[in-house]
């Protein structure tokens, strides 16, 4: 199947019955073939796509509605990502579905999403008694958005990236100015991005200009993060690099991909204010 077969961008009726066939996998291979990655049997990074679903509902055995939230972790080495509108349609197919308990829903979600991704998908199921524990926090790091720079490039321009003079350093940089567009509908995708690295100093102004250069780019969230990782790695060759983005939600879902060559990178799970 290709993107032309996906429900994304089409007017489709919302389902009233459970249907795992609504999930639409998209191969990661085509995008990765176009990236400046080292070729070999293994990816040069690891990571995950962390999805947060805020609009999960189903019926209990007596027909009474239940609600929940959930976090789904799709491994970056899975052969497929899951197209977002198909994910929304799939979750909504539970709205009129009777299930004996929340565990039955969890088992279906894990089974169906793992099948679509082609690898095990982890699930943290958040029932109402845990809603009050949910937290918000901004991505930490040096705020690149405070820089007063002139920008005129709004398509990805890796040639903007450059290293500054100076000794090896460890640094965390962040920006709320990441924006790309849905590759099918053209709708804007707004995000915040955090870049942690150890290596030669990355020029801050150049990095901010590069982040903003995605502003008119059409690409999935996951692909954008992998592109940023690959471009920064090629331009500055840091010894350690982690790229993490948190995108604002659409249709009750947000997507938060991270890619890293660090064994245990620091990934904050709290959602940002815009999410």
Q: Measured on CA atoms in the order 154, 156, 159, 165, is the torsion positive or negative? A: positive
Q: 83 labelled as ligand-binding?
A: yes
Q: Is 64 annotated as a binding residue?
A: no
Bridge partners of 243, per DSSP, are: 195, 259
84 is in an annotated binding site: yes
Catalytic (active site) residue 41? no
List CB contacts of 37: < 8 A, sequence separation 6 or more.
43, 44, 230
Contact 275, 248 (CB under 8 A): yes
117 vs 136: CA distance, rounded Å: 28
Which of 49, 112, 174, 182 is catalytic? The answer is 182
- Residue 250 counted as an annotated binding residue: yes
Helix 221-236 vs helix 204-212: crossing angle, to nearest 10: 150
203 is catalytic: no
Q: CA-to-CA distance for 122 and 7, rounded, in angstroms?
A: 25
Contact 71, 126 (CB under 8 A): yes
Q: Would the annotation count 198 as a binding residue?
A: no
Cβ contact 79:118 at 8 Å: yes
Is residue 219 marked as binding? no
Q: Which residues are catalytic?
A: 182, 189
Residues placed in the known binding site for substrate: 82-84, 221-222
Residues placed in the known binding site: 82-85, 221-222, 250-251
């Amino acid at each position: 199947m290709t993107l032309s077969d996906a429900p994304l961008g089409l007017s489709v009726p919302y389902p009233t019955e459970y249907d795992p066939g609504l999930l639409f996998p998209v191969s990661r291979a085509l995008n990765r073939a176009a990236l400046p990655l080292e070729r070999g049997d293994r990816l040069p990074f690891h990571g995950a796509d962390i999805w947060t679903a805020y609009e999960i509902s189903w019926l209990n055995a007596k027909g009474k509605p239940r609600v929940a939230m959930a976090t789904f972790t799709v491994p970056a080495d899975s052969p497929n990502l899951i197209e977002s509108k198909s994910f929304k349609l799939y979750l909504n197919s539970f709205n009129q579905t009777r299930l004996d308990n929340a565990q039955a829903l969890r088992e279906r979600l894990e089974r169906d999403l793992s099948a679509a991704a082609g690898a095990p998908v982890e699930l943290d199921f958040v029932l109402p008694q845990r809603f009050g524990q949910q937290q918000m926090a901004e991505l930490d790091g040096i705020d690149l958005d405070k820089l007063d720079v002139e920008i005129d490039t709004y398509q990805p321009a890796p040639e903007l990236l450059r290293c500054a003079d100076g000794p090896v350093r460890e640094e965390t940089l962040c920006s709320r100015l990441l924006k790309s567009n849905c590759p099918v509908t053209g709708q804007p995708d707004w995000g915040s991005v955090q870049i942690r690295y150890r290596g030669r100093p990355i020029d801050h102004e150049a990095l901010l200009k590069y982040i903003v250069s995605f502003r008119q780019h059409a690409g999935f969230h996951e692909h954008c993060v992998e592109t940023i990782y690959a471009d920064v790695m090629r331009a500055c060759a840091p010894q350690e690099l982690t790229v993490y983005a948190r995108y604002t939600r659409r249709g009750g879902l947000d997507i938060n991909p991270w890619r890293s060559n660090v064994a245990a990178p620091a990934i904050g799970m709290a959602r940002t204010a815009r999410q």
